[in-house]
Homo-oligomer: A and B are copies of this chain.
Amino acid sequence: MRLSPLMAVFALWTLSVAAGTPPRAVTPAMAATAQQLMQHARSANTGYAIVESLTTEVGPRLAGTAAEGRARQWAVARLKDLGFHNVRVEPFEVPLWLRGIERAEIISPFPQPLTITALGGSASTGADGVEGEVVSFESLAALEAAPEGSLQGKIVFVDEVMTRSRDGSGYAVAVAKRRKTAFTAQSFGASAALIRSVGTSSHRFAHTGQMRRIDYKGQPGVPMAALTAPDADQLRRALSHGNPVVVKLVITPQLLPPSESGNVIAEIPGTAAPDEIVLVGAHLDSWDLGTGAIDDGAGVGIVIGAAKLLLDVLPHAPRRTIRIVLFGSEEVGLVGAQAYAEQHAGELHNHVIATESDFGAGDIWRFDTGVADSKVALAEAIGELLLPLGIEPGTNTASGGPDMKYLREAGVPVVGLKQNGWDYFDLHHTPDDTLDKIALDALHQNIAAYAVFLYLAAEIEADFR
């Protein structure tokens, strides 16, 4: 016999009561409220309106730029309008890196332009650019195994292909290529580096992303750019003729003094336990090439949409405080996440549970937890209520999302509402990350799931530590 979610909750609740466990877990009344939230999510307009407004009225909003500042102003105004409390900006500083000219071409034997984009944090070639013979490697590992001195004055090309997957597991491998190539190439004496774009698209979009967090002191690495997949194919074909291939690369990004960024915070204050915090995040900054619709305008829309649903549907606020954190400067190395953890170090023990929406606009297919072993059953009781949304139970190894890193390391329990990322890396970090790529149905499913989770996590008495 398979228990229905409501029956399971009731069984768990009965069990808790029978065992005399003091903190109240999920009750049948809460389960009924969760069902109400799911029903209302289908007609909730706030989530889409938020991502439409952010991507239209602000557009691209790179960490540390004036555009990111406008995004914070936009967020404060919208969150106040929507009826949230304690809306505020918590500022911090971030390294400022700005894209310049971006141009590449095959000089010989087959002269033609190549489509590229500089990787975040890359050094500049100077306006005159760098010209050199291309040496190709099938993987980062192959580059790392190159003979000493074999790359003097060469342009390194790491042609590693990212694997497409639902859970985005191919990205971690691809990110290693983006993090390390410029520095490894520099240690071998190369003059510049090209990588096949991280990402899974076969369209002619170059994929940007941070090499590693800028510290203003370390080796900058060689200037490095990503080729689109069709251009990487083209360079591979040109090399297959067996003759030397000479490429010219001109990228002129600038590294400027640290600039102001900030996290934007808004709350639904808890009624019975206002000091206990259920944190839900998304990030406000985006890469500069697109308008940051799926990364992470969608997340911003989902978490604000879900919290607004609670304001609209619940007769009164939950017991605990629900805190929305729109992180700044996520893309350039989780700078906002670290600032939050530092600025709130004194109250992290009151962070009951936390999560983030930062994996696009696909539907959620799995509910992972990252809680104390003794609290897995409790978290699973919440997960059971997500089954009608097509969300299956996961494992207790959730990361909670990129910006949850420092909270997780500080012992804050997390959950992961895992989205289908099959197509995510077709768009992510490219010029094609625009509003039209968001499907409304999936956005509504996300909003329903977050609303249910936030409500239950904030309403129960039990904790997850």
Asked if B230 contacts A436 (CB within 8 A), the reply is: yes
Point out the residues of chain B lying under 8 angstroms from A204, CB to CB: 205, 290, 430-432, 434
Residues of B within 8 A of A166 (CB): none
Chain B residues whose CB sits within 8 angstroms of the CB of A430 once the complex forms: 204
Most buried by B among A57, A67, A204, A437: A204
Q: Is the CB of A52 within 8 A of B431?
A: no
- Nearest-neighbor residue (CB-CB) of A237 within chain B: B56
Given contacts A204-B290, A290-B204, A436-B229, contact A59 B431 (CB under 8 A): no
Residues of B within 8 A of A431 (CB): 115, 204
**Contact flags A425-449 to B (C-beta < 8 A → 1, else 0):** 0000011101111000000000000
CB closest residue in chain B, given A105 = B59
Q: Whole-angstrom distance from the CB of A291 to the nearest CB of chain B? A: 7
Does the CB pair A233–B436 fall under 8 Å?
Answer: yes
A112, B60: Cβ atoms closer than 8 Å: yes
A23 interfacial by beta-carbon distance below 8 Å:
no
Q: Flag if A110 contacts B58 (CB, 8 Å).
A: yes
| C-alpha spacing A153/B309, complex, angstroms | 46
A202 at interface by CB-CB < 8 Å: yes
A85 interface residue (CB < 8 Å to B): no
Q: Within 8 Å of chain B (Cβ to Cβ): is A372?
A: no
Chain B residues positioned under 8 Å from A60 (CB to CB): 112-113
List residues of chain B with CB within 8 A of the CB of A230.
291, 432, 434-436
Provide the residues of chain B in CB contact with A110, threshold 8 Å: 56-59
With A112-B291, A229-B436 as known contacts, state yes or no: A234 contacts B203, CB within 8 Å.
no
> How distant is the Cα of A455 from the Cα of B276 in the complex, in angstroms?
82
A238 interfacial contact with B, CB 8 Å:
yes
Q: Mark A226-258, 1 if CB is under 8 A from B, else 0.
A: 000110011001100000000000000000000
Q: Which of B56, B234, B291 interacts with A434 by CB under 8 Å?
A: B234
B-chain residues with CB within 8 Å of residue A111 when the two chains form the complex: 59, 67
CB within 8 Å of B: which A51-68 residues:
52, 55-60, 67
By CB atoms of chain B within 10 A, which of A58, A113, A434 has the most?
A: A434
Measured CB to CB, the nearest residue on chain B to A202 is B436
A188-216, CB under 8 A of B: which get 1 and which 0?
00000000000000111100000000000
* Chain B residues with CB below 8 A from A434, complex form: 204, 230, 233-234
